[in-house]
């Protein structure tokens, strides 16, 4: 499909879905519930109030939990700093809903000179990020959700991967996967390639375990949440094409086909709200029907996604855009 056609489909899908979404926390039949998705916001200091508006909007919505898909801000304006992390953590801890956060490239892989962070050390930031945001066995927020962390495994290989988490709500298995932009940390330095190789191996194990858990739970669907956009062939795609996630993507395709039920991959990274079917596309071959990709809004678009899980719906998930009223730009058409 050409780019214009893709845009039309995405726009129409968004409008239809927005109309279908219910506002309450619980919706539809037995076992229905709602949650929120956001990320990639407040890159500039003047956008901080816009993020506050998003958080306020989330807080007044009736939701079971919210998930932040990574990128706490822009590297040039503090996303690599302890100060900004502390501000975000306070905001997340103040969430009335349980809040789950998965790391973005702006918190570590992009923390170096070329990204406007003089003297930045990505691997040091990664270690600090894990210690800062991923403590205990529960989510952030005033109402905590108990999470299963990959680090709970007896195998010491997984000990530091506290950020890879899984939880079950209703008929759905949810998991986060630490896959980030900037080619998932591959190709930056010899040390980063070693880090990438291990994390990639561990992520593949966690992804397989997630699907196995979904099968064991007899879940109707699995939702995988990560920061990186791993579909470079579908524009807009951020940065250069790379190989840092290709092995993982192949595994995702294999597991999705074997699972046979609804699979949704949520990510940020390109800052382009869309719902599409990018997996398994080949000439004259349909995209894999049980797989859907959902990308959240990202700066300069300060809004969030409202998701309803309705067991009576054949697709399980109903996605709705939530336009945050005070963040709507005042416009005047000019020729």
Closest contact distance (angstroms) between CB of 150 and Fe ion is 24
**Nearer residue to Fe ion within complex by CB, 73 or 278:** 73
Quick note: the x/- pattern for Fe ion over 24-53, rule CB under 5 A, is: ----------------x-------------
**Nearer residue to Fe ion within complex by CB, 71 or 163:** 71
Binding window for Fe ion (CB under 5 A); candidates: 66-74, 142-150, 282-290, 302-310: 66-74
Alpha helices in 46-159, H assignment, sequence order: 48-60, 82-93, 122-133
- Residue partners of 127: CB distance under 8 A and separation at least 6: none
- Residue partners of 316: CB distance under 8 A and separation at least 6: 171, 172, 220, 221, 262, 309, 310
Q: Are strands 172-176 and 165-169 parallel, antiparallel or unpaired?
A: antiparallel
C-alpha dihedral, 52 to 53 to 54 to 58, nearest 10°: 100
Helices (H) and strands (E) in the chain, counts: 7, 12
**Nearer residue to Fe ion within complex by CB, 42 or 172:** 42
Q: How far apart are CA 23 and CA 316, in angstroms?
A: 17
Binding window for Fe ion (CB under 5 A); candidates: 44-52, 70-78, 172-180, 280-288: 70-78
Q: Which residue number has the CB closest to Fe ion?
A: 71
Residues 134 to 193 in contact with Fe ion, rule: CB under 5 A:
none
> By CB under 5 A, is residue 310 in contact with Fe ion?
no
Closest contact distance (angstroms) between CB of 238 and Fe ion is 7
Closest contact distance (angstroms) between CB of 181 and Fe ion is 7
> By CB under 5 A, is residue 71 in contact with Fe ion?
yes
**Nearer residue to Fe ion within complex by CB, 40 or 195:** 40
Q: How far apart are CA 258 and CA 222, in angstroms?
A: 13
Cβ–Cβ under 8 Å, residues 75 and 155: no
**Nearer residue to Fe ion within complex by CB, 64 or 71:** 71
Closest contact distance (angstroms) between CB of 298 and Fe ion is 5
Interface residue list for Fe ion (CB under 5 A): 40, 71
């Amino acid at each position: 499909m050409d780019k214009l056609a893709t845009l039309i489909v995405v726009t129409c899908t968004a409008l239809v879905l927005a109309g279908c979404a219910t506002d309450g926390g619980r919706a539809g039949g037995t076992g229905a519930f709602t949650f929120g998705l956001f990320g990639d916001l407040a890159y500039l200091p003047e956008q901080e109030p816009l993020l506050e508006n998003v958080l306020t909007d989330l807080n007044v919505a009736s939701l079971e939990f919210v998930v932040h898909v990574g990128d706490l801000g822009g590297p040039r304006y503090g996303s690599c700093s302890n100060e900004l992390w502390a501000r975000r953590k306070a905001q997340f801890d103040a969430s009335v809903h349980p809040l789950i956060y998965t790391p973005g490239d702006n918190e570590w892989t992009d923390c170096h000179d070329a990204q406007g962070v003089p003297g930045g050390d990505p691997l040091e930031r990664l270690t600090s990020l894990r210690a800062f945001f991923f403590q205990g066995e529960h989510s952030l927020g005033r109402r905590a959700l108990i999470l299963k962390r990959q680090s709970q495994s007896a195998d010491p290989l997984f000990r530091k991967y506290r950020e890879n988490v899984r939880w079950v709500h209703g008929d759905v298995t949810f998991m986060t996967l630490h896959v980030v932009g900037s080619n998932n940390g591959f190709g930056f330095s010899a040390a980063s390639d070693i880090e990438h190789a291990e994390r990639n191996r561990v992520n593949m194990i966690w992804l397989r375990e997630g699907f196995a858990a979904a099968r064991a739970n007899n879940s109707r669907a699995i939702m995988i949440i990560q920061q990186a956009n791993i579909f470079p062939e579908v524009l807009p795609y951020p940065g250069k094409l790379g190989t840092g996630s290709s092995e993982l993507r192949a595994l995702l395709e294999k597991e999705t086909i074997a699972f046979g039920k609804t699979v949704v991959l949520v990510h940020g990274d390109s800052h382009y709200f869309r719902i599409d079917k990018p997996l398994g596309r080949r000439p004259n071959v349909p995209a894999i029907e049980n797989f859907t990709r959902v990308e959240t809004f990202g700066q300069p678009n300060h809004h969030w996604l409202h998701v309803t899980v309705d067991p009576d719906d054949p697709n399980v998930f109903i996605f709705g855009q939530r336009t945050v009223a005070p963040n709507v730009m005042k416009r005047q058409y000019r020729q």
